[in-house]
Amino acid sequence: MSAFHFFSGKGGVGKTSLACATAVQAADAGRRTLLVTTDPASNLADVFEQPIGHRVTPIAAVPNLWAMEIDPDRATDEYKERALAPLRAAFPPALVAVIEEQMSGPCTSEVAAFDRFTDFLEAPAPGQPAYDLVIFDTAPTGHTLRLLELPAEWSQSIDAASAGSGQTCIGPAAAVQDAKHKYERALAQLRNPAQTTFTFVLQPEAISIRETQRAIGELGHLGIHSHQLIVNAVIPPEAAADPLFAARRERPQQYLAQIAVDLPWPARQVPLLSGEIKGLDRVRALAGLLTDPNARPTFEVEAGEPPAPDWPAAAILARLQPPAGRRRTLFFAGKGGVGKTVASCVTAVHLARQGFHTLLLTTDPAAHLGDVLGVPVGDSAAPVAGAPNLWAAKIDPKAAAETYKARILDDARRRGRPPEALRVMAEELDSPCTEEMAAFDLFIDYASQADWDVVVFDTAPTGHTLRLLELPLDWSQQLDVKVFATVDTAAADDVAKRRFGDVIAMMRDPARSTFAFVMYPEATPILEAHRASQELRALGIAPGLVVANFIIPPDAAAAAPFTRARRAMQARYLAEIGQRFDVPVLRIPLLPQEVKGLATLTALGEQLYGQGAPAAWPA
């Protein structure tokens, strides 16, 4: 019987590195191990420095270890073919074509990726390989929770459709009954502590602790209670020889004490290392730290080209401020944990202080705007206390879905739709994918509003952001059934084309929108951002800015060996950023404390955008 081990947590806390290290450790101990990633922006291949992709692939030089990166597009094609194959033999081609069109929406993509994921929770079929351990490297917490909620939600949706119209947005209910049983078995496996363990990776900081608490609470509602913790990137004592890291080490000691009280599960600590985890030797070094946290591997840093000089603030502000008499929409995107929320907040606060009416939004399911701003942020746009000209809101998919469903059904009643039509529409809207549709619908509303000089989007991690931005194109043929279910089909097409056309034109116009990719100077976030920028270019959207975050100041380079090693690594990757991205680069320094609260955001904005660094950072 296989054991299952999930790695979850906030973006950027080190889930992938620790999942890889655990997998190598298990394989080296003789256990047949499979490592699967469910993150749309996977980087297993980057860590192991070999191609992997959407197939089970042996890891070179690690007997007993295989890996797979689930590709949502290929999983969708495979799912549709499995669902449609038996229908082609039983129904006329015209009817099959209608069903296939109904399965062409984003609901199918979501459930297909999940369907592929649950394959690994099933007992292997005869002739298929069996594994002693299956490790899941998951997407950041909000999306992982969404994934784990699906078994119950899809089972309910299939049951409701079976009792009603017989049709779901993922295919005829009769054809997906086997999937329903599969999802129920998957949930039973997840609830079984003898087989399944969830390791939450977190860092000693307030946001990471709160997200871990929230995630454990939500898993409890699903009946999942088998947890353990890895507290990663703990600043080691030797780093305290440098004043910057000494200051950054003080507050985490309080958070470590808080973790012991507020998160009473088995926990291990892993220190912040002087270099990145990339390549098998470094993965094995990290695996050693899981058993001996006092070990201190040393990493050689290859010399690189010196980074280009800092871009002038005026060149960067030209990509952020709205042109005279017009508005600008800013998208801050990138890998989880790179600092998108801080970059979004500091920019929004600064632009608001310059007199621009600014709306700050997040589309991330694990929203942290309120944590960084230091004020509550609700589901609708509201003024930010203490920040004139700034409004903020978070797009909560669950809340948006309830409002969206009520609006669609109320409109249908006003138009005199018959009870049978209302019942079918209610079934359609009870699908789990309504949340994604509703969040997208709200995103379109905000993006279309003319009330703001600047709209700043703090987006979800890269793979999910790309999915959101592709929705206008993917859904253009679906809205007559879904978003515009209450109007005539011809009118729906016209309205959809106009509405989407305006938003797509805005995103493609560099005078009206700027896509800023946020990264820290290490290989994985740079590669992920570069791949995402290429995908955006395929949609006709050109990146306009790069934000390089957590930069160690030059005056810290001559301090402790730990600091010198990290500074040398950063210099090499800053040069690579300049070579890969032909756009201005904004560098955000590593500060001695968390970036939190309007005072710190204001001071940081002045340093970044033109008035110099403060003599002392706000407490």
Q: Point out the residues that are catalytic.
A: 12, 14-17, 39, 524
Beta-ladder partners of 271: 234
The continuous run of DSSP H or E covering 113 comes out as: helix 106-119
Beta-ladder partners of 35: 67, 135
The side-by-side arrangement of strands in the sheet containing 57-58 is: 57-58, 65-69, 33-37, 133-137, 3-8, 196-202, 227-234, 267-271
What CA–CA distance (Å, rounded) separates 204 from 229?
12
What CA–CA distance (Å, rounded) separates 168 from 217?
30
Could you write out the three-class secondary structure of 522-565? Answer: CHHHHHHHHHHHHHHHHCCCCCCEEEEEEECCHHHCCCCHHHHH
Residue whose C-alpha is closest to residue 200's, from 218, 212, 217: 212
The continuous run of DSSP H or E covering 240 comes out as: none
Beta-ladder partners of 361: 393, 457
What's 22's DSSP letter? H
The continuous run of DSSP H or E covering 172 comes out as: strand 171-172
Asked whether 266 and 228 are in contact (CB, 8 A), the reply is: yes
Could you tell me where the beta strands, DSSP code E, fall in 27-166?
33-37, 57-58, 65-69, 133-137
Both tokens assigned to 612? 């110099």
Both tokens assigned to 261? 């009280």
What CA–CA distance (Å, rounded) separates 20 from 61?
14
What CA–CA distance (Å, rounded) separates 356 from 453?
6
β-pairing verdict for 390-394 and 382-383: antiparallel
The side-by-side arrangement of strands in the sheet containing 390-394 is: 382-383, 390-394, 358-362, 454-458, 328-333, 513-519, 545-551, 585-589
β-pairing verdict for 328-333 and 513-519: parallel
Residue whose C-alpha is closest to residue 101's, from 171, 154, 161, 164: 171
Residue whose C-alpha is closest to residue 180's, from 78, 81, 83: 83
The continuous run of DSSP H or E covering 102 comes out as: helix 93-102
Given CA atoms 422, 426, 427, 431 in this order, what sign does their dihedral have?
Answer: positive
What CA–CA distance (Å, rounded) separates 583 from 308?
12
Q: Is 94 exposed, middle or buried (0-12, 13-18, 19+ CB in 10 A)?
A: exposed
What CA–CA distance (Å, rounded) separates 604 from 170?
48
Both tokens assigned to 296? 């201190």
- Specify the 3-state DSSP secondary structure of 149: helix
For the chain, first and last CA: distance in Å? 53
CA atoms within 13 A on the CB side of 432: 21
